[in-house]
Structure 1
Amino acid sequence: MKLYKLLSFSFLLSTLTSCTFTENITINDNGTGKFSVDMDGSSLMAMAGDQMTQQMGAEAKKEIDSSFTFKQLFEAKKDSIAKLSPEVQKELKKLENFVVNTKMSSEKKEFLMTLSSDFKNVNEMQDILQTLSVLQQLEKGGNASSPFGSNFGNNNSKLSYTYDGKKFSRKAVIDTKKLAEKAKDSAPDMSKMIFASSNYILKYHFPKKIKKVSNPNALFSEDRKTITIQYPFTDYMDNPDKLNFDVEFEK
Protein backbone atom coordinates (compact mmCIF):
# COMPACT_ATOMS: atom_id res chain seq x y z
CA MET A 1 0.00 0.00 0.00
CA LYS A 2 1.27 3.47 -0.81
CA LEU A 3 2.36 5.39 2.28
CA TYR A 4 0.27 8.45 1.51
CA LYS A 5 -2.89 6.44 0.91
CA LEU A 6 -2.45 4.87 4.34
CA LEU A 7 -1.75 8.20 6.02
CA SER A 8 -4.69 9.78 4.24
CA PHE A 9 -7.09 7.15 5.52
CA SER A 10 -5.74 7.32 9.08
CA PHE A 11 -6.43 11.05 9.12
CA LEU A 12 -9.91 10.49 7.71
CA LEU A 13 -10.77 7.96 10.39
CA SER A 14 -9.37 10.07 13.22
CA THR A 15 -11.49 13.05 12.14
CA LEU A 16 -14.68 11.05 11.74
CA THR A 17 -14.58 9.12 14.99
CA SER A 18 -13.59 9.36 18.62
CA CYS A 19 -10.19 7.84 19.29
CA THR A 20 -8.02 6.98 22.24
CA PHE A 21 -4.47 8.32 22.13
CA THR A 22 -1.94 6.80 24.52
CA GLU A 23 1.45 8.39 25.12
CA ASN A 24 3.83 5.67 26.32
CA ILE A 25 7.30 6.05 27.81
CA THR A 26 9.42 3.17 29.05
CA ILE A 27 12.69 4.06 30.80
CA ASN A 28 15.33 1.39 31.47
CA ASP A 29 17.88 1.22 34.30
CA ASN A 30 20.56 2.91 32.19
CA GLY A 31 18.26 5.78 31.14
CA THR A 32 17.60 4.51 27.61
CA GLY A 33 14.07 3.62 26.60
CA LYS A 34 11.22 3.81 24.14
CA PHE A 35 8.67 6.49 23.33
CA SER A 36 5.43 5.84 21.46
CA VAL A 37 2.01 7.27 20.79
CA ASP A 38 -0.79 4.81 20.03
CA MET A 39 -4.01 5.78 18.29
CA ASP A 40 -6.91 3.35 18.69
CA GLY A 41 -9.87 4.00 16.41
CA SER A 42 -11.25 0.47 16.63
CA SER A 43 -14.36 1.24 18.65
CA LEU A 44 -16.00 3.22 15.85
CA MET A 45 -14.38 1.52 12.85
CA ALA A 46 -17.79 0.45 11.56
CA MET A 47 -18.87 4.08 11.19
CA ALA A 48 -16.16 4.72 8.60
CA GLY A 49 -17.08 1.85 6.27
CA ASP A 50 -18.34 3.94 3.35
CA GLN A 51 -15.54 6.48 3.60
CA MET A 52 -12.96 3.69 3.81
CA THR A 53 -14.23 2.13 0.60
CA GLN A 54 -14.16 5.47 -1.19
CA GLN A 55 -10.63 6.26 -0.04
CA MET A 56 -9.03 2.85 -0.44
CA GLY A 57 -11.17 0.80 -2.83
CA ALA A 58 -10.21 -2.89 -2.91
CA GLU A 59 -7.53 -2.25 -0.27
CA ALA A 60 -10.33 -1.78 2.28
CA LYS A 61 -11.12 -5.50 2.17
CA LYS A 62 -7.60 -6.54 3.08
CA GLU A 63 -6.14 -6.95 6.55
CA ILE A 64 -3.21 -4.60 6.93
CA ASP A 65 -0.17 -4.93 9.17
CA SER A 66 2.24 -2.38 7.79
CA SER A 67 5.35 -0.56 9.06
CA PHE A 68 7.51 2.19 7.66
CA THR A 69 9.97 4.78 8.97
CA PHE A 70 9.74 8.49 8.39
CA LYS A 71 13.19 8.20 6.82
CA GLN A 72 11.56 6.20 4.01
CA LEU A 73 8.81 8.78 3.70
CA PHE A 74 11.31 11.63 3.58
CA GLU A 75 13.35 9.88 0.90
CA ALA A 76 10.24 9.74 -1.27
CA LYS A 77 9.65 13.46 -0.65
CA LYS A 78 13.28 14.62 -0.76
CA ASP A 79 12.67 17.12 -3.57
CA SER A 80 9.89 18.81 -1.61
CA ILE A 81 11.97 18.80 1.58
CA ALA A 82 14.89 20.47 -0.20
CA LYS A 83 12.64 23.48 -0.87
CA LEU A 84 11.76 23.93 2.81
CA SER A 85 13.63 26.27 5.14
CA PRO A 86 16.70 24.95 7.01
CA GLU A 87 14.75 25.31 10.26
CA VAL A 88 11.90 23.08 9.04
CA GLN A 89 14.36 20.54 7.60
CA LYS A 90 16.07 20.38 10.99
CA GLU A 91 12.75 19.70 12.69
CA LEU A 92 11.88 16.94 10.22
CA LYS A 93 15.23 15.24 10.81
CA LYS A 94 14.17 14.63 14.43
CA LEU A 95 11.51 12.25 13.12
CA GLU A 96 13.71 10.15 10.81
CA ASN A 97 14.03 7.16 13.15
CA PHE A 98 10.36 7.04 14.10
CA VAL A 99 8.46 3.95 12.96
CA VAL A 100 4.77 4.05 12.02
CA ASN A 101 2.97 0.73 12.43
CA THR A 102 -0.62 0.26 11.29
CA LYS A 103 -2.96 -2.65 11.91
CA MET A 104 -6.32 -2.48 10.20
CA SER A 105 -9.11 -4.96 9.56
CA SER A 106 -12.59 -3.99 8.40
CA GLU A 107 -13.82 -7.48 9.28
CA LYS A 108 -12.46 -7.34 12.85
CA LYS A 109 -13.41 -3.65 13.18
CA GLU A 110 -9.81 -2.91 14.13
CA PHE A 111 -7.75 0.19 13.49
CA LEU A 112 -4.55 0.73 15.46
CA MET A 113 -1.67 3.03 14.63
CA THR A 114 1.56 3.41 16.60
CA LEU A 115 4.29 6.00 16.20
CA SER A 116 7.43 4.91 18.08
CA SER A 117 11.14 5.47 18.54
CA ASP A 118 13.93 4.35 20.88
CA PHE A 119 15.88 7.00 22.78
CA LYS A 120 19.26 7.13 24.52
CA ASN A 121 17.97 9.71 26.99
CA VAL A 122 14.38 10.84 27.49
CA ASN A 123 15.56 14.45 27.08
CA GLU A 124 15.88 13.66 23.35
CA MET A 125 12.09 13.62 23.13
CA GLN A 126 11.68 17.35 23.77
CA ASP A 127 8.90 18.81 21.61
CA ILE A 128 8.73 15.64 19.52
CA LEU A 129 4.93 15.70 19.31
CA GLN A 130 4.95 19.33 18.22
CA THR A 131 7.39 18.37 15.44
CA LEU A 132 4.66 16.21 13.91
CA SER A 133 2.73 19.34 12.95
CA VAL A 134 5.66 20.34 10.69
CA LEU A 135 4.84 17.38 8.43
CA GLN A 136 1.92 19.24 6.90
CA GLN A 137 4.42 21.48 5.12
CA LEU A 138 5.46 18.57 2.92
CA GLU A 139 2.29 19.00 0.86
CA LYS A 140 -0.08 21.83 0.12
CA GLY A 141 -2.98 21.41 2.49
CA GLY A 142 -0.85 18.80 4.22
CA ASN A 143 -3.43 17.07 6.46
CA ALA A 144 -2.56 13.64 5.09
CA SER A 145 1.14 14.02 5.88
CA SER A 146 0.79 13.41 9.60
CA PRO A 147 -0.43 10.00 10.79
CA PHE A 148 -2.70 11.55 13.42
CA GLY A 149 -3.82 14.60 11.46
CA SER A 150 -2.44 18.13 11.32
CA ASN A 151 -3.92 19.22 14.66
CA PHE A 152 -2.12 16.55 16.67
CA GLY A 153 0.86 17.96 18.56
CA ASN A 154 -0.02 21.53 17.67
CA ASN A 155 -1.32 22.60 21.08
CA ASN A 156 0.61 25.87 21.51
CA SER A 157 3.07 24.56 24.08
CA LYS A 158 6.64 23.33 24.43
CA LEU A 159 6.87 19.88 26.01
CA SER A 160 9.91 18.55 27.86
CA TYR A 161 10.80 15.45 29.88
CA THR A 162 13.53 15.11 32.51
CA TYR A 163 14.77 12.06 34.39
CA ASP A 164 17.80 11.75 36.66
CA GLY A 165 17.12 8.47 38.46
CA LYS A 166 15.59 10.26 41.45
CA LYS A 167 12.84 12.27 39.79
CA PHE A 168 10.91 12.35 36.54
CA SER A 169 9.09 15.37 35.17
CA ARG A 170 6.70 15.96 32.28
CA LYS A 171 6.30 19.68 31.65
CA ALA A 172 4.42 21.56 28.96
CA VAL A 173 4.93 25.33 28.92
CA ILE A 174 2.30 27.42 27.12
CA ASP A 175 3.70 29.44 24.22
CA THR A 176 1.93 32.75 24.85
CA LYS A 177 2.94 34.13 21.44
CA LYS A 178 1.33 31.21 19.57
CA LEU A 179 -1.70 31.39 21.84
CA ALA A 180 -2.15 35.08 21.02
CA GLU A 181 -1.85 34.35 17.29
CA LYS A 182 -4.47 31.61 17.62
CA ALA A 183 -6.82 34.01 19.41
CA LYS A 184 -6.62 36.39 16.42
CA ASP A 185 -7.52 33.62 14.00
CA SER A 186 -11.20 33.99 13.11
CA ALA A 187 -11.39 30.51 11.56
CA PRO A 188 -13.43 27.97 13.58
CA ASP A 189 -11.41 25.55 15.70
CA MET A 190 -12.49 22.20 14.27
CA SER A 191 -10.27 20.20 16.64
CA LYS A 192 -12.65 20.76 19.56
CA MET A 193 -15.53 19.24 17.65
CA ILE A 194 -13.47 16.46 16.08
CA PHE A 195 -11.86 15.26 19.30
CA ALA A 196 -14.61 16.15 21.77
CA SER A 197 -15.22 12.51 22.72
CA SER A 198 -11.59 11.33 22.46
CA ASN A 199 -9.24 10.56 25.34
CA TYR A 200 -5.53 11.16 25.89
CA ILE A 201 -3.77 8.70 28.19
CA LEU A 202 -0.29 8.92 29.70
CA LYS A 203 1.25 5.55 30.53
CA TYR A 204 4.82 5.58 31.83
CA HIS A 205 6.93 2.66 33.04
CA PHE A 206 10.00 3.26 35.21
CA PRO A 207 12.86 1.03 36.38
CA LYS A 208 12.25 1.97 40.03
CA LYS A 209 9.29 1.87 42.40
CA ILE A 210 7.39 5.14 42.61
CA LYS A 211 7.26 6.92 45.95
CA LYS A 212 4.77 9.61 44.96
CA VAL A 213 3.22 11.41 41.99
CA SER A 214 2.07 15.02 41.98
CA ASN A 215 -1.12 14.12 40.07
CA PRO A 216 -3.74 12.65 42.45
CA ASN A 217 -5.53 10.87 39.59
CA ALA A 218 -2.56 8.66 38.70
CA LEU A 219 -3.22 4.92 38.81
CA PHE A 220 -0.40 2.60 39.88
CA SER A 221 0.49 -0.85 38.62
CA GLU A 222 0.79 -3.61 41.19
CA ASP A 223 4.60 -3.28 41.30
CA ARG A 224 4.33 0.56 41.55
CA LYS A 225 6.63 1.00 38.57
CA THR A 226 3.96 2.06 36.07
CA ILE A 227 1.52 4.96 36.26
CA THR A 228 -1.51 5.66 34.06
CA ILE A 229 -3.33 9.00 33.88
CA GLN A 230 -6.32 9.66 31.62
CA TYR A 231 -7.52 13.03 30.32
CA PRO A 232 -10.12 14.23 27.83
CA PHE A 233 -8.33 14.97 24.56
CA THR A 234 -9.60 18.54 24.79
CA ASP A 235 -7.34 19.01 27.85
CA TYR A 236 -4.34 17.97 25.77
CA MET A 237 -5.31 20.51 23.10
CA ASP A 238 -6.59 23.44 25.19
CA ASN A 239 -4.82 23.03 28.56
CA PRO A 240 -1.60 21.13 27.85
CA ASP A 241 -0.03 22.27 31.13
CA LYS A 242 -2.80 20.39 32.95
CA LEU A 243 -0.96 17.19 31.92
CA ASN A 244 2.19 18.23 33.81
CA PHE A 245 3.33 16.10 36.73
CA ASP A 246 6.38 15.07 38.75
CA VAL A 247 7.37 11.62 40.00
CA GLU A 248 9.64 10.78 42.93
CA PHE A 249 11.15 7.30 43.28
CA GLU A 250 11.95 5.15 46.27
CA LYS A 251 15.63 5.03 47.17
Structure 2
Amino acid sequence: MEKIKATLLIISLFILTSCEIVQETKFESDGSGKYSLGFDLSEMMKMGQDTKEGTNEQLDTLIVFSEFLEIKKDSISKLSKEKQDKIKQLENFSLYIKTDSISNKFEMKINYDFDNLSELKLFGEKLKEQDIKELELLSSKTKDMKNGEDNGIPDFNKSYNTVFNKELFSTKISPEGLVEAEKNKDTTMTKDNPMADMIRFKTKYFFPYKIKKVNNKNVRVLPDFKGIEITGNLFEINNDPKYFDVDIEFEQE
Protein backbone atom coordinates (compact mmCIF):
# COMPACT_ATOMS: atom_id res chain seq x y z
CA MET A 1 0.00 0.00 0.00
CA GLU A 2 1.29 3.44 -0.78
CA LYS A 3 0.15 4.89 2.50
CA ILE A 4 -3.51 4.26 3.33
CA LYS A 5 -4.54 5.63 -0.07
CA ALA A 6 -3.99 2.23 -1.63
CA THR A 7 -6.52 0.70 0.75
CA LEU A 8 -9.16 3.08 -0.50
CA LEU A 9 -7.92 2.63 -4.07
CA ILE A 10 -8.27 -1.13 -4.11
CA ILE A 11 -11.71 -0.81 -2.55
CA SER A 12 -12.71 1.59 -5.33
CA LEU A 13 -11.71 -1.00 -7.91
CA PHE A 14 -14.60 -3.18 -6.83
CA ILE A 15 -17.31 -0.54 -6.43
CA LEU A 16 -20.79 -1.89 -7.30
CA THR A 17 -19.55 -5.47 -6.99
CA SER A 18 -19.40 -7.90 -4.11
CA CYS A 19 -15.93 -8.98 -3.08
CA GLU A 20 -13.65 -9.79 -0.17
CA ILE A 21 -9.94 -9.02 -0.17
CA VAL A 22 -8.00 -11.30 2.16
CA GLN A 23 -4.58 -10.54 3.61
CA GLU A 24 -2.78 -13.15 5.75
CA THR A 25 0.52 -12.94 7.63
CA LYS A 26 2.03 -15.92 9.41
CA PHE A 27 4.96 -15.23 11.74
CA GLU A 28 7.66 -17.64 12.89
CA SER A 29 9.46 -17.26 16.23
CA ASP A 30 12.57 -15.80 14.53
CA GLY A 31 10.56 -12.96 12.96
CA SER A 32 10.38 -14.46 9.49
CA GLY A 33 7.12 -15.53 7.91
CA LYS A 34 4.80 -15.77 4.96
CA TYR A 35 2.50 -13.06 3.67
CA SER A 36 -0.31 -13.56 1.18
CA LEU A 37 -2.77 -11.29 -0.57
CA GLY A 38 -5.78 -12.79 -2.29
CA PHE A 39 -8.73 -11.30 -4.12
CA ASP A 40 -11.52 -12.22 -6.47
CA LEU A 41 -12.63 -10.10 -9.44
CA SER A 42 -15.26 -12.59 -10.61
CA GLU A 43 -18.21 -10.35 -9.71
CA MET A 44 -16.70 -7.46 -11.64
CA MET A 45 -16.26 -9.68 -14.69
CA LYS A 46 -19.86 -10.90 -14.42
CA MET A 47 -21.01 -7.32 -14.66
CA GLY A 48 -19.34 -7.09 -18.06
CA GLN A 49 -16.66 -4.57 -17.17
CA ASP A 50 -13.99 -6.58 -18.95
CA THR A 51 -15.89 -8.79 -21.38
CA LYS A 52 -14.70 -8.83 -25.00
CA GLU A 53 -16.69 -10.72 -27.60
CA GLY A 54 -14.87 -13.72 -29.01
CA THR A 55 -12.20 -13.91 -26.33
CA ASN A 56 -11.67 -16.92 -24.09
CA GLU A 57 -9.01 -16.51 -21.42
CA GLN A 58 -8.51 -19.63 -19.32
CA LEU A 59 -5.75 -20.13 -16.79
CA ASP A 60 -5.32 -22.25 -13.66
CA THR A 61 -1.74 -22.26 -12.50
CA LEU A 62 0.72 -21.88 -9.64
CA ILE A 63 4.00 -20.13 -10.39
CA VAL A 64 6.84 -20.59 -7.90
CA PHE A 65 9.31 -17.93 -8.96
CA SER A 66 12.38 -19.52 -7.36
CA GLU A 67 11.83 -22.55 -9.61
CA PHE A 68 11.12 -20.36 -12.63
CA LEU A 69 14.33 -18.36 -12.10
CA GLU A 70 16.36 -21.57 -11.86
CA ILE A 71 14.91 -22.88 -15.12
CA LYS A 72 15.56 -19.57 -16.88
CA LYS A 73 18.94 -18.83 -15.29
CA ASP A 74 20.88 -19.08 -18.57
CA SER A 75 18.61 -16.58 -20.29
CA ILE A 76 18.60 -14.30 -17.25
CA SER A 77 22.41 -14.29 -17.12
CA LYS A 78 22.46 -12.57 -20.53
CA LEU A 79 20.49 -9.60 -19.25
CA SER A 80 21.99 -6.43 -17.83
CA LYS A 81 22.93 -6.54 -14.15
CA GLU A 82 20.16 -4.06 -13.40
CA LYS A 83 17.54 -6.33 -14.98
CA GLN A 84 19.00 -9.42 -13.31
CA ASP A 85 18.80 -7.77 -9.91
CA LYS A 86 15.22 -6.71 -10.58
CA ILE A 87 14.09 -10.19 -11.61
CA LYS A 88 15.84 -11.83 -8.65
CA GLN A 89 13.62 -9.82 -6.33
CA LEU A 90 10.88 -12.30 -7.26
CA GLU A 91 12.71 -15.24 -5.65
CA ASN A 92 10.51 -15.28 -2.55
CA PHE A 93 7.20 -15.00 -4.38
CA SER A 94 4.69 -17.49 -5.69
CA LEU A 95 1.50 -16.70 -7.56
CA TYR A 96 -1.72 -18.65 -7.96
CA ILE A 97 -4.14 -17.48 -10.59
CA LYS A 98 -7.38 -18.88 -11.96
CA THR A 99 -9.28 -17.12 -14.71
CA ASP A 100 -11.99 -18.20 -17.11
CA SER A 101 -13.71 -15.65 -19.33
CA ILE A 102 -16.53 -18.13 -20.10
CA SER A 103 -17.61 -18.54 -16.47
CA ASN A 104 -16.43 -15.01 -15.59
CA LYS A 105 -14.01 -16.19 -12.92
CA PHE A 106 -10.89 -14.33 -11.86
CA GLU A 107 -9.07 -15.26 -8.65
CA MET A 108 -5.52 -14.47 -7.65
CA LYS A 109 -3.36 -15.07 -4.58
CA ILE A 110 0.19 -13.78 -4.18
CA ASN A 111 2.44 -15.41 -1.58
CA TYR A 112 5.64 -13.85 -0.27
CA ASP A 113 8.25 -15.28 2.11
CA PHE A 114 10.01 -12.68 4.25
CA ASP A 115 12.96 -12.89 6.65
CA ASN A 116 11.98 -9.95 8.85
CA LEU A 117 9.58 -7.00 9.09
CA SER A 118 11.82 -4.79 6.97
CA GLU A 119 11.51 -7.29 4.11
CA LEU A 120 7.77 -7.48 4.60
CA LYS A 121 7.56 -3.74 3.91
CA LEU A 122 9.27 -4.36 0.54
CA PHE A 123 6.42 -6.56 -0.75
CA GLY A 124 5.00 -3.95 -3.11
CA GLU A 125 8.35 -2.49 -4.11
CA LYS A 126 9.64 -5.88 -5.27
CA LEU A 127 6.59 -6.39 -7.47
CA LYS A 128 6.69 -2.92 -8.95
CA GLU A 129 7.38 -2.79 -12.70
CA GLN A 130 8.01 -6.54 -12.95
CA ASP A 131 7.33 -7.94 -16.40
CA ILE A 132 4.91 -10.69 -15.41
CA LYS A 133 2.08 -11.43 -17.80
CA GLU A 134 -0.18 -12.74 -15.02
CA LEU A 135 0.11 -9.46 -13.12
CA GLU A 136 -0.46 -7.58 -16.36
CA LEU A 137 -3.63 -9.64 -16.76
CA LEU A 138 -4.81 -8.35 -13.40
CA SER A 139 -3.94 -4.80 -14.41
CA SER A 140 -5.97 -5.16 -17.58
CA LYS A 141 -9.05 -5.94 -15.48
CA THR A 142 -8.68 -2.73 -13.50
CA LYS A 143 -6.89 -0.38 -15.91
CA ASP A 144 -9.89 1.93 -16.33
CA MET A 145 -10.25 2.38 -12.58
CA LYS A 146 -6.67 2.54 -11.30
CA ASN A 147 -6.00 6.25 -11.68
CA GLY A 148 -2.56 5.67 -13.14
CA GLU A 149 -1.16 3.23 -10.58
CA ASP A 150 1.77 1.12 -11.81
CA ASN A 151 0.00 -2.21 -11.33
CA GLY A 152 -3.09 -3.75 -9.79
CA ILE A 153 -1.28 -5.00 -6.70
CA PRO A 154 -1.80 -2.92 -3.55
CA ASP A 155 0.73 -3.02 -0.71
CA PHE A 156 -1.04 -2.91 2.64
CA ASN A 157 2.17 -3.27 4.67
CA LYS A 158 3.88 -0.01 3.84
CA SER A 159 1.50 2.24 5.75
CA TYR A 160 1.68 0.35 9.03
CA ASN A 161 4.34 0.36 11.74
CA THR A 162 4.59 -3.21 12.96
CA VAL A 163 6.41 -4.80 15.88
CA PHE A 164 6.63 -8.52 16.61
CA ASN A 165 8.56 -10.46 19.27
CA LYS A 166 7.88 -13.23 21.80
CA GLU A 167 6.17 -10.78 24.15
CA LEU A 168 3.96 -8.72 21.87
CA PHE A 169 2.60 -7.90 18.43
CA SER A 170 1.58 -4.41 17.40
CA THR A 171 0.54 -2.93 14.08
CA LYS A 172 -0.65 0.65 13.71
CA ILE A 173 -1.24 3.00 10.83
CA SER A 174 1.66 5.42 10.41
CA PRO A 175 1.21 9.19 10.90
CA GLU A 176 1.69 9.67 7.15
CA GLY A 177 -0.91 7.01 6.40
CA LEU A 178 -3.35 8.64 8.81
CA VAL A 179 -3.01 12.00 7.10
CA GLU A 180 -3.56 10.36 3.71
CA ALA A 181 -6.62 8.48 4.98
CA GLU A 182 -8.22 11.64 6.33
CA LYS A 183 -7.52 13.43 3.06
CA ASN A 184 -9.22 10.69 1.03
CA LYS A 185 -12.14 10.12 3.40
CA ASP A 186 -15.56 9.93 1.73
CA THR A 187 -17.72 12.12 3.96
CA THR A 188 -20.88 11.10 2.08
CA MET A 189 -20.58 7.41 3.04
CA THR A 190 -23.20 6.32 5.59
CA LYS A 191 -23.63 3.11 7.56
CA ASP A 192 -26.90 2.25 5.81
CA ASN A 193 -25.48 2.83 2.33
CA PRO A 194 -26.32 -0.27 0.20
CA MET A 195 -22.70 -0.42 -0.99
CA ALA A 196 -21.21 -0.36 2.50
CA ASP A 197 -21.29 -4.12 3.01
CA MET A 198 -20.60 -5.17 -0.59
CA ILE A 199 -16.85 -4.69 -0.24
CA ARG A 200 -15.10 -6.34 2.69
CA PHE A 201 -11.46 -6.48 3.67
CA LYS A 202 -10.22 -9.27 5.92
CA THR A 203 -6.82 -9.41 7.56
CA LYS A 204 -5.46 -12.40 9.47
CA TYR A 205 -2.36 -12.81 11.62
CA PHE A 206 -0.96 -16.13 12.83
CA PHE A 207 1.62 -16.42 15.62
CA PRO A 208 3.81 -19.11 17.21
CA TYR A 209 2.67 -17.91 20.65
CA LYS A 210 -0.65 -17.99 22.51
CA ILE A 211 -2.52 -14.72 22.86
CA LYS A 212 -3.14 -13.35 26.35
CA LYS A 213 -4.66 -9.94 25.66
CA VAL A 214 -5.98 -7.96 22.66
CA ASN A 215 -6.96 -4.29 22.70
CA ASN A 216 -9.10 -4.01 19.54
CA LYS A 217 -12.84 -4.77 19.82
CA ASN A 218 -12.97 -5.54 16.09
CA VAL A 219 -10.67 -8.55 16.54
CA ARG A 220 -11.86 -12.14 16.49
CA VAL A 221 -9.36 -14.39 18.27
CA LEU A 222 -8.99 -17.77 16.55
CA PRO A 223 -9.93 -20.93 18.50
CA ASP A 224 -6.32 -21.99 19.17
CA PHE A 225 -5.49 -18.52 20.58
CA LYS A 226 -2.58 -18.27 18.14
CA GLY A 227 -4.17 -16.00 15.59
CA ILE A 228 -6.60 -13.15 15.00
CA GLU A 229 -8.94 -12.00 12.26
CA ILE A 230 -10.30 -8.53 11.57
CA THR A 231 -12.98 -7.91 8.95
CA GLY A 232 -14.16 -4.49 7.91
CA ASN A 233 -16.62 -3.22 5.34
CA LEU A 234 -16.42 -0.09 3.22
CA PHE A 235 -18.12 2.16 5.76
CA GLU A 236 -16.01 0.96 8.69
CA ILE A 237 -12.71 1.36 6.87
CA ASN A 238 -13.62 4.75 5.43
CA ASN A 239 -14.73 6.20 8.76
CA ASP A 240 -12.07 4.75 11.04
CA PRO A 241 -8.50 4.78 9.64
CA LYS A 242 -7.35 3.02 12.84
CA TYR A 243 -9.84 0.18 12.36
CA PHE A 244 -7.06 -2.40 11.88
CA ASP A 245 -4.73 -1.07 14.58
CA VAL A 246 -4.10 -3.72 17.20
CA ASP A 247 -1.86 -4.46 20.19
CA ILE A 248 -1.48 -8.05 21.36
CA GLU A 249 0.19 -9.42 24.46
CA PHE A 250 1.37 -13.05 24.35
CA GLU A 251 1.36 -15.56 27.17
CA GLN A 252 4.80 -16.09 28.72
CA GLU A 253 5.99 -19.58 29.61
TM-score interval, normalised by the smaller of the two chains: 0.5 to 0.7
Aligned to 1:65: 61
Displacement of 1:221? 1.9
Q: Secondary structure at the match of 1:124?
A: helix
Alpha-carbon shift at residue 66 of structure 1 (Å): 4.8
Identify which of 114, 118, 124 aligns with 1:119.
114
Identity percentage over the alignment? 26
Match for residue 231 of structure 1? 232
Check whether the contact 2:55–2:101 (CA below 8 A) recurs between aligned residues: no
Higher relative contact order (CA 8 A, sep 6+): 2
Instruction: Report what 1:188 is aligned to.
Output: none
Q: How many residues align?
A: 210
| Equivalent-residue separation in structure 2 for 1:237 and 1:98 (angstroms) | 30
Instruction: Identify the residue that residue 146 of structure 1 maps to in structure 2.
Output: 151
Partner of 1:170: 171
Partners of 2:147 and 2:123 in 1: how far apart? 18
Paired position in structure 1 for 2:31: 31
The whole-number CA distance in structure 2 between the counterparts of 1:182 and 1:91 is: 32
TM-score scaled by structure 2? 0.61
Q: Deviations over 1:29-82 (max 9, x none)?
A: 22211011111345x36724x4444188122xx34325375x98xx9xx99x99
Superimposed CA distance per residue, residues 166-188 of structure 1 (whole angstroms, 9 cap, x where no aligned partner): 100111124266568769xxxxx
Structure 1 residues 105, 123: closer, same or farther in 2, change over 3 A?
same
Q: Which has the higher helix share?
A: 1
The alpha-carbon distance between structure 1 residues 11 and 201, as it changes in their structure 2 partners (threshold 3 A), is closer
Equivalent residue, structure 2, for 1:248: 249
Query: Structure 1 residues 127 and 234 mapped into 2: Cα distance closer, same or farther (>3 Å)?
Result: farther
Report if the CA contact (8 A) 1:20-1:41 is conserved.
no
Q: Which residue of 2 aligns with 1:198?
A: 199
- Cα offset, 1:217, TM superposition: 2.6
Deviation (angstroms), 1:210: 0.4
Give 1:23 deviation, angstroms. 1.4
Q: Tell me the equivalent position of 1:103.
A: 98
What is the CA–CA distance in structure 1 between the aligned matches of 2:222 and 2:55, rounded to whole Å? 43
Alignment of 1:205-224 (within 5 A): 205-224=206-225
Letter in 2 for 1:125: L
User: Is 2:159 the counterpart of 1:158?
Assistant: yes
SS at match of 1:231: strand
| Deviation for aligned residue 1:21 | 0.9
1:110 shift after superposition:
4.2
Q: In the TM superposition, what whole-angstrom CA distance separates every residue of 1:126-151 from its partner, at most 9, and x where no partner exists?
A: 3745x599659x99987584234xxx
Root-mean-square deviation (CA), in Å?
4.7
**TM-superposition CA deviations, 1:205-237 (whole Å, max 9, x none):** 100110011112321222111111111145446
Partners in 2 of 1:12 and 1:55 — Cα distance? Answer: 26
Counterpart AA for 2:21: F
Q: Which runs of 5+ in 1 are unaligned?
A: 1-9, 83-89, 184-191
Gaps of 5+ in 2: 1-9, 70-75, 131-135, 186-192
Q: Give the AA of the match of 1:230.
A: T
Q: Deviations over 1:179-209 (max 9, x none)?
A: 68769xxxxxxxx999872111111110011
